[in-house]
């Protein structure tokens, strides 16, 4: 089993997805498959991000496995402190809902004080 990452980045956000496949692809081969999948989904994808759409297209057309939270069966928080390593709760994933039906979204943004566009006075 071989693993591959897709990254999506802009000036403010960075995200990634993990893919698996029984075959080994070199970087150029994978790039060609990704560019082909990107072109196929670019104007019509319904996933939350372009890389998720590309990953799903690679899964449909080329047999990749898009590894996401649906495959997650256990999570453990590991701590250097005795007694703090423990099972982390896993939320059961619901089928994706259209954006207008979702209650809320959360984004954690780490901003350095000197980078703030506004100042608390």
Q: Cα(7)–Cα(17) distance, rounded to whole angstroms? A: 7
pLDDT digits (tens, 9 = 90+) for 45-78: 999 889 999 999 999 999 999 998 788 888 888 9
Tokens 């999570």 locate to 75
CB proximity list for 21: less than 8 A, separation 6 or greater: 1, 2, 4, 62, 63, 64, 65
Each domain of the chain, given as residue ranges in start order, spans 2-71
Query: pTM, whole model, 2 decimals?
Result: 0.65
CATH number of 2-71: 3.30.70.2710
Where are the strands (E) in the chain, listed by range? 2-9, 14-21, 65-67, 76-77, 86-87
Burial (CB < 10 A; 0-12, 13-18, 19+), residue 19, is buried
Residue 106 has pLDDT above 70, yes or no: no
Instruction: Band the pLDDT of 93: cuts 50, 70, 90.
Output: very low
Report the DSSP pairing between strands 86-87 and 76-77.
Answer: antiparallel
């Amino acid at each position: 089993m071989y693993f591959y990452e897709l990254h999506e980045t802009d000036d403010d956000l960075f995200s990634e997805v993990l893919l698996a496949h029984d075959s080994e692809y070199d970087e150029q081969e994978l790039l060609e498959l990704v560019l082909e999948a990107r072109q196929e989904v670019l104007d019509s994808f319904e996933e939350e991000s372009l890389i998720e759409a590309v990953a799903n297209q690679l899964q449909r057309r080329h047999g990749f496995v898009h590894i996401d939270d649906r495959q997650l069966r256990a999570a453990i928080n590991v701590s250097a402190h005795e007694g703090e390593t423990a099972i982390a709760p896993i939320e059961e994933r619901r089928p994706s809902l259209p954006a207008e039906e979702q209650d809320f979204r959360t984004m954690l943004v780490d901003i350095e004080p000197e980078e703030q566009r506004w100042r608390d006075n």
